[in-house]
Structure 1
Amino acid sequence: MDFSVDIIQIRDSSFNIGKKMGEYIQNRPILKTLEMITKNEIDYVNMMSIFTYFAPHLIDELEGLAEGLQLPLHKTAALFSGYDVPKTEAMGCSAIITKDYYIRNYDFSPMLYDGCFSLLQPENANSTAGYNLQAIGRHDGVNNHGLALGLHFVSNNAYTKGLSAWTSIRMILDTCTNLDEAIHMLKEIPHSACYNFSIGDKFGNIAVVEVSPDKVIVRGNPSLLTCVNHFQDKSLKKKNRPSIEGSIKRNNYLQSFKESHFTQSEMFHSFANKSSPVFFTDYDNLFGTLHTFSYSFKDSRILTAIAQSNQVLDIDLEEWVNGTDIDQHILTGVIEEGGK
């Protein structure tokens, strides 16, 4: 079936960004989906305290969302804050990070996908580009400081009331400038589940941060790191899902690129190719590739495409940050069931 993602560009206050996003998603299927899978009420006071500490401007964005959707703020927070979200199963992602570039595939179901790529320039936070998840959250993305990161689900071991990985990514993109700041924030955030975070910055620093609700481990390498859907640190391995053979197989494949010296463009097309060992079509079981995202730390270049698309979005992020909007408004692709 045909598949599309909207490209949204907004330069405004956080409140107005939220209001415009609310108006945008008001009649979109993702709103009904979120109403079905989120809780009717959350601990609003605790959510507010977390947002106030880590990213107070996102409270303004939630208030704008509430106005744009014409919903009460408490309901808007339950729908979009990413706090105390019910457990999510499956979800796969594969990434390579080098000092030169960040590349990753996101694998899940189109039924639980916002279908939106945002370029935002708030008045009081970093400029960012990335794929939306639960409206204010991000699957992956990059900011104007050249900090790029993405999430990789590991398990619901020790699941607790806390913040989702996608809201954590948005907070980091909006407020951090480098790898050290991102790691510090990941050590402070109250996490709800077990996730890997693949991260790189323009200074050539790269890391995978293995996060559980009760422990955070940083895994580094000076040249190339791979990140999939299982913990590799010995102290966290017991928190992996019972079956991680597929994740290990993907990781072994990605490790084979250590001596390849691929360019960003070559690696991007390797990930986005339907025949790639890290491209999947098992959408019915929440494991189909939905998008490929990459960023070059050297020349601020974003390359991204959605599943089986002939259209690659090529953005000079520095130019966009300096005020030059891009002409594209939609990405089109194909969801093809195949079970791989």
Structure 2
Amino acid sequence: MQNIQSDILTHRGSHFDLGVKTAEWMQQTPMLKNRESEWKKRMPRFDIHIKETYDVFQTYAPQIWEEIKGMQEVLNLPTNQMILNFGHYRFTPLKNSGCTVFLGEDYMVRNYDYHPATYDGRYLLFQPNDGGLAQIGPTSRITGRMDGMNEAGLAMGYNFMHRKHPGDGFVCYMIGRLILQYCKNVSEAIQLLKEIPHRSSFSYIVMDKQLASAIVEVTPRSIDVRYDSTCTNHFKLLTHENRNYTKESEERLKRLVNHKPTNLNKADAFQLFNDPQYQIYSKLFRSWSGTIHTSMYEPQSLTAQIGIGQNSFPTKIDFAKWLKGDTLSTYTIAGHLDTDLTFATY
């Protein structure tokens, strides 16, 4: 068991300035060195096309391109390296991952399950002044988001399905960022997911301030929408796209459904996801499917909670107050992981 922590960072201002601030933070960590080591171990299974990537960002996310330019100003890396590490748009054996989501009456709770070495250890509150919606949530590969909520009250998480037959398109954590950046409600999120190109197959789970919700099943070839309260790592509609082995995902879903009463309150829901005894929380870190954090979002109050590791006491942030100018009372999230694997920033 090791003690770990995630930094909480805040920024009010332009995307370019956020990029500068982010790069300065990265320079204080071994993240770039660790990323370079990872690329040496496994060559990218995709191509980098600078002009095509620039064009697609100008179509879907010009402000995020400015953020990448701000990072480049500090890091002084060539554009192809910036795209490789921070653009998250892919042209063309990857690891399995978990993740479980439950939509309560007025909240979303989620376990993020993956490998600690890929984890930023960075939780960001960002209020832009040059376009796009303010957001709160953990970052993924710096410019992406693994889950989160925006100022309009739209909460988002995603679950891995498979990476068979990938397409040219955005990867999951950049798609999560695009949803939070530009969508105010569930219908806008569904429309965006229908429009943008997708690299791999995921389910995107969204809930808005009106408490509408949806689970959007997406592959590079097709998209469908279901209205349910639970999601693990297999499709229920696009079943022909599922992996051959979905037993663990189906069993985890069954445990979640069996543990879940009709009206599960927020505190019990967080414990259900974060306490290993209920077997929703996973310790399979070396298999790329261990639970790194449990997060909860309340769209109507714009409140977010996150706990790192198991049996954590969640850090609660009133995003609505921060948007009005309040400062935070804490800037770290501490917890315990039952593994000797470390974050990318350690």
TM-score range, shorter chain: over 0.9
Q: Which residue of 1 aligns with 2:10?
A: 9
Distance 1:86 1:305, change over 3 A: farther
SS of corresponding position for 1:104: strand
Percent sequence identity is: 30
Q: Which residue of 1 aligns with 2:240?
A: 238
Residues 280-328 of structure 1: CA distance to partner in whole angstroms, max 9, x if unpaired? 1111111211000101123222111110364421111111111112121
Matched, 1:303 2:305: yes
Q: CA deviation at 1:256?
A: 3.2
**8 A Cα contact 1:85 1:164, kept in partner:** no
Q: Write the letter of the residue equivalent to 1:207.
A: A
Q: Which residue of 2 aligns with 1:74?
A: 80
Residues 168-210 of structure 1: CA distance to partner in whole angstroms, max 9, x if unpaired? 1101101110000000011111101110111111111111000
Give the TM-score normalised by the residue count of structure 2: 0.91
Give the TM-score normalised by the residue count of structure 1: 0.93
SS of corresponding position for 1:256: helix
Q: CA deviation at 1:115?
A: 1.0
**8 A Cα contact 2:116 2:285, kept in partner:** yes
Q: Show structure 1 runs of 5+ residues with no match.
A: none
**Is 12-21 or 308-317 further displaced after alignment?**
308-317
Q: Which residue of 1 aligns with 2:204?
A: 197
**8 A Cα contact 1:303 1:313, kept in partner:** yes
**8 A Cα contact 1:99 1:206, kept in partner:** no
Select the residue among 89, 92, 96 that pairs with 1:83.
89
Q: Which residue of 2 aligns with 1:143?
A: 150
Say which structure, 1 or 2, has more relative contact order (CA 8 Å, 6+ apart): 2
CA distance in 1, matches of 2:66, 2:253: 40
Matched, 1:315 2:332: no
CA distance in 2, matches of 1:198, 1:29: 32
Q: Write the letter of the residue equivalent to 1:243.
A: Y
**Is 8-17 or 83-92 further displaced after alignment?**
83-92
Q: CA deviation at 1:69?
A: 1.6
Select the residue among 193, 202, 215 that pairs with 1:208.
215
Select the residue among 163, 168, 187 that pairs with 2:170.
163
CA distance in 2, matches of 1:255, 1:309: 21
Q: Which residue of 2 aligns with 1:228?
A: 232
Q: Which residue of 2 aligns with 1:28?
A: 29
SS of corresponding position for 1:5: strand
Distance 1:87 1:101, change over 3 A: farther
CA distance in 1, matches of 2:252, 2:58: 38
Distance 1:284 1:85, change over 3 A: farther
Select the residue among 52, 58, 66 that pairs with 2:58.
52
Select the residue among 182, 188, 205 that pairs with 2:189.
182
Q: CA deviation at 1:239?
A: 1.8
**8 A Cα contact 1:34 1:134, kept in partner:** no
**8 A Cα contact 2:92 2:166, kept in partner:** no
**8 A Cα contact 2:275 2:311, kept in partner:** no
SS of corresponding position for 2:269: helix
Q: CA deviation at 1:17?
A: 0.3
Matched, 1:248 2:245: no
Distance 1:134 1:85, change over 3 A: farther
**8 A Cα contact 2:47 2:92, kept in partner:** no
Q: Write the letter of the residue equivalent to 1:116.
A: R
Q: CA deviation at 1:87?
A: 6.7
**8 A Cα contact 2:145 2:176, kept in partner:** yes
Q: Which residue of 1 aligns with 2:110?
A: 104
CA distance in 2, matches of 1:331, 1:311: 10
**Is 207-216 or 43-52 further displaced after alignment?**
43-52
SS of corresponding position for 2:90: coil
Q: Which residue of 1 aligns with 2:289?
A: 287
**8 A Cα contact 1:309 1:332, kept in partner:** no
**8 A Cα contact 1:99 1:205, kept in partner:** no
Q: Which residue of 2 aligns with 1:264?
A: 266
CA distance in 1, matches of 2:33, 2:202: 26
**Is 264-273 or 170-179 further displaced after alignment?**
264-273
Q: Show structure 2 runs of 5+ residues with no match.
A: 341-346
**Is 85-94 or 264-273 further displaced after alignment?**
85-94
**8 A Cα contact 1:164 1:191, kept in partner:** yes
**8 A Cα contact 1:138 1:167, kept in partner:** yes
CA distance in 2, matches of 1:50, 1:153: 23
